[in-house]
Structure 1
């Protein structure tokens, strides 16, 4: 008996954080800095900053297959390949083996995952935008789903707090529906982008063109350089991991701070399968873990638990945490756990060519593009035949030698022609909001098991009429803007979009004021299990049309602050 008590004490912490990605890294940082002893659990290997980025400094000719995946890799990562870029030879090791980590699809769902220290903070697109009350109030005003339990005033100080730490470059635009951030100097637009901006804003003043707001350092603060972070080097090899720490990742920013406190324990290869619920205490007492290297089953105990494993992984853990009190998943009194799956629909827009600026090029490889904020269905505007709106991301470039595939010619003159930059081109891709539909869901399916003998997720979600109507505007508007700026051969592109492919999956454990219709309260706390918090994409009550990661960070910092306050009051 005494040995068991000592073993339990050895595996006991003040807090357990599940997942070390964008949200988990922030939870670890905030909780350790506030004095808590934290266990951080993640699946896969311990990728160290700089030394763990296996291909960050590899030259193109040094890859055995010149960047192309082997047949074996293509087979093992067939789902991950659906994005079109995730299984290159330079980055495939950061994405999961689909055969070892299967899931089921009633309708197509593209689940992109990275199981390792830092999670998808190593592979994300780094675009960061604040939400406004237009977004937090939309559900209530339109009678869609349920109301958000927070407003912009609740999260604005936490946006400030997060942005000062991570570093965001961008321009102020003074748009009420897209609040400005605290910026480091913006990256510059290319000449064609500036030309299109002038033409479009002259014809449609409401269609603002700006440079993307990105979590890349352009003028590091003393706090950031003290962590070993430096300015963006314009390599645009971010998918390989940044050895300069120029873009925000858990490895470069939050985890070093947490580690310096001496209160962080990180454990890799730790597959958290479920939470342990004590029915007498009405609390979660810990987590069950499978060690992915030894297959040993372990338990770890803590006073509070932060689920930050990514939206679907956190929902999986809650659905798999059953008990007499919660037969359908921990905290699932509302029946909403697993429902309201959302993602952004995209891969629709336009592209064209421009005759001019032949004497101009661009410096470096800017890891960013232009951004066109939402301009449809804003207050005071005539409503379209759909709800909500969309924004655009895109960039200009000059054609390279690859254009030779479509040209007639041969010989020395032809080769010489292809050594020079080709015409300027511009492409725009729309990112549209998806409404929260109750019928878009994910459930546990016990008929199929993964490598560890655990049930898998089954997805049943799709985009519906509102999103399809929106896509018409997303394509047509992009084309008319490029044509208005004088571009030729303008083509509308719609490659189709499926939930998951935007890698902004959200909504399956949504926040709300009423425990009967939501899983979490306004502080990301499970209504019926007060010592469990969820701050990744699962918590979102609606989707907006902007990249959501900045909001995850702000919600995490806010929830961690609240959790520690509640612990001090002996409420947790």
Structure 2
């Protein structure tokens, strides 16, 4: 069986063997491909969606509101109906950005309980649309399960991953300050993004009034002082456009397209095949290894098999778990796992709780450009030495500011000097403190395969049975109260606490369902993100998370991917993995 060349897909003969296959091209998949290529491996990078090339395929990146048919204010109804789930975010499905999100009608799933599965199926995955906040985990996080005697222990500690955080931060480019917080370790930073006047006021006020907490600059994957390595890849300093979700033609924020893919391509060892839906892993009963992957061509529906010595699953937490669950054989009749944990412990940060307020000062001040990231208030509950709260773990606040009615001139009538003068007058400054809280690893928060519904290609789909519990409810109550209290003491007005009760999934930080652990009895993957039983299979995306620290997790995926790739290549060379 030979490969279809439709739409200029690489003419790869079905059955061809590579040194490594990477499934998924998002944040972790891009890193896996880059590292394996740079270590001498010939890599096939499989992406289930279309190709998006850097710059040339960011079709809306430089468009003005008046360039869109509906001024980017509305979507045609016949288009909008394709995104009933993706549109639950309330901000993603616009004329400028909808092309980066999946067609829900072609890619269904079943909700036993409400679960908002937000996805992007294209080369680059969600690395094109992510929020770019990049925080390290600490031993407070890695030791939490063991300390509390719940779930299973992480098989790593901070010292194991710290050098890899250094490594990926230097390459990716993270803007931030060194804040000296043991529970939020410092990293390799470029200069932080500057505060506006409201942010400066909040930082000074809260840091002066609350000795148990700190307001810091968000650590964001935006270049503020590009290195020679970064500029050699065609990347440039952030332009403060804040149109990031359209794709950045300057390569100023970290994405697969701007960073890891160009680096991998420089090795001449990378083959990218889009439109390649990985259905399952091929397991050899005699050797105990996975020999390759079964692929459905997204466009032609033809089946193919590609082979490799090493396979990295980076298809997103639930995408990788789907592949493992669908990889059934005589040895693994229920999917590639013996622990019983595959599909369990699904976590997502709970958020949309906090407070909003007005700032009625500094009305004669504004700032240049559009802020791509703001402030962050790291976790301040249940830290070492503190009195315990009625809930376990903690939350951090993302802080957003804006000027009320700043765009009124778009809609006002007039011209000349009077109109220009009127255009410079805005309303009050606005501020929002939005908490992101840790979700505990509940074994019965899980996903299943079901054939009650099938996708466009005849595959089973996932059924989601996930909900938040008492611990998350108590945490949210505290987060709302503390947000109100900080804004009150900092002198803001018109303060309103809120709790929007978002469902799991909406934070788009899915973690768990194929966790790392200390043995095949309690987990799917080991301390090197290597399958306990099928030694040439690795997973370094959100599926492998053992718990869900309240920090944004993407930086940890990057570090784990680089670390696992290093281990895999060395293990192959030592003969510990048979090629």
Q: TM-score if structure 1 supplies the norm length?
A: 0.96
**For residues 217 and 278 of structure 1, what CA distance do their matches in structure 2 show?**
45
* Equivalence map 1:32-181=2 (5 Å): 32-67=37-72, 68-181=74-187
* Equivalence map 1:487-526=2 (5 Å): 487-526=492-531
Q: Which piece of structure 1 moves more, 280-289 or 195-204?
A: 195-204
Match of residue 320 from structure 1: 326
Shift of 1:426: 1.2
Q: Would you say 1:11 and 2:11 are equivalent positions?
A: no
**For residues 198 and 419 of structure 1, what CA distance do their matches in structure 2 show?**
27
Q: Would you say 1:280 and 2:286 are equivalent positions?
A: yes
CA deviations over 1:421-469 (Å, ceiling 9, x no partner)? 2111211100000000000000100121110000000000011100000
Q: Would you say 1:530 and 2:535 are equivalent positions?
A: yes
Match of residue 229 from structure 2: 223
Shift of 1:400: 1.4
Q: Which piece of structure 1 moves more, 534-543 or 191-200?
A: 191-200
* Equivalence map 1:469-488=2 (5 Å): 469-488=474-493
CA deviations over 1:61-105 (Å, ceiling 9, x no partner)? 000011121102221101000111111110001100000000000
Shift of 1:395: 2.2
Match of residue 304 from structure 2: 298
Q: Would you say 1:554 and 2:559 are equivalent positions?
A: yes
Shift of 1:117: 0.4
Contact 2:32–2:312, Cα closer than 8 Å, also in 1: yes
Q: Would you say 1:370 and 2:375 are equivalent positions?
A: yes
Contact 1:445–1:458, Cα closer than 8 Å, also in 2: yes
* Equivalence map 1:429-508=2 (5 Å): 429-508=434-513
Contact 2:312–2:537, Cα closer than 8 Å, also in 1: yes
Match of residue 412 from structure 2: none
**For residues 241 and 402 of structure 1, what CA distance do their matches in structure 2 show?**
23
**For residues 255 and 402 of structure 1, what CA distance do their matches in structure 2 show?**
37
**For residues 273 and 434 of structure 1, what CA distance do their matches in structure 2 show?**
29
Shift of 1:495: 1.2
CA deviations over 1:160-193 (Å, ceiling 9, x no partner)? 0000100000011100000001110111111111
Of the candidates 559, 562, 567, which is equivalent to residue 572 of structure 2?
567
**For residues 48 and 368 of structure 1, what CA distance do their matches in structure 2 show?**
25
Contact 1:274–1:320, Cα closer than 8 Å, also in 2: yes
Q: Would you say 1:398 and 2:403 are equivalent positions?
A: yes
| Structure 1 SS opposite 2:351 | strand
Contact 1:377–1:389, Cα closer than 8 Å, also in 2: yes
CA 1:8–1:303 in 2, change beyond 3 Å: closer, same or farther?
Answer: farther
Q: Which piece of structure 1 moves more, 195-204 or 445-454?
A: 195-204
Q: Would you say 1:237 and 2:243 are equivalent positions?
A: yes
**For residues 19 and 328 of structure 1, what CA distance do their matches in structure 2 show?**
23
**For residues 31 and 399 of structure 2, what CA distance do their matches in structure 1 show?**
29
Of the candidates 235, 256, 272, which is equivalent to residue 262 of structure 2?
256
CA deviations over 1:11-49 (Å, ceiling 9, x no partner)? 110000000000000000000000001000001111000
Contact 1:23–1:308, Cα closer than 8 Å, also in 2: yes
Aligned alpha-carbon RMSD (Å): 1.8
Q: Would you say 1:425 and 2:424 are equivalent positions?
A: no
Shift of 1:250: 0.4
Contact 1:8–1:301, Cα closer than 8 Å, also in 2: no
Runs of 4+ in 1 over 4 A off after TM superposition: 7-10, 401-404, 412-419
CA 1:415–1:107 in 2, change beyond 3 Å: closer, same or farther?
Answer: farther
CA 1:273–1:184 in 2, change beyond 3 Å: closer, same or farther?
Answer: same
* Equivalence map 1:404-415=2 (5 Å): none
Match of residue 407 from structure 1: none
Identify unmatched segments of 5+ residues in structure 1. Answer: 2-6, 405-411
Match of residue 550 from structure 2: 545
Contact 1:17–1:27, Cα closer than 8 Å, also in 2: yes
CA deviations over 1:521-556 (Å, ceiling 9, x no partner)? 000001010000000000000000010000000000
Shift of 1:397: 2.1
Shift of 1:562: 0.2
Contact 1:145–1:436, Cα closer than 8 Å, also in 2: yes
CA 1:517–1:491 in 2, change beyond 3 Å: closer, same or farther?
Answer: same
Shift of 1:195: 1.2
Q: Which piece of structure 1 moves more, 43-52 or 412-421?
A: 412-421
CA deviations over 1:234-264 (Å, ceiling 9, x no partner)? 0000000000000000000001111111110
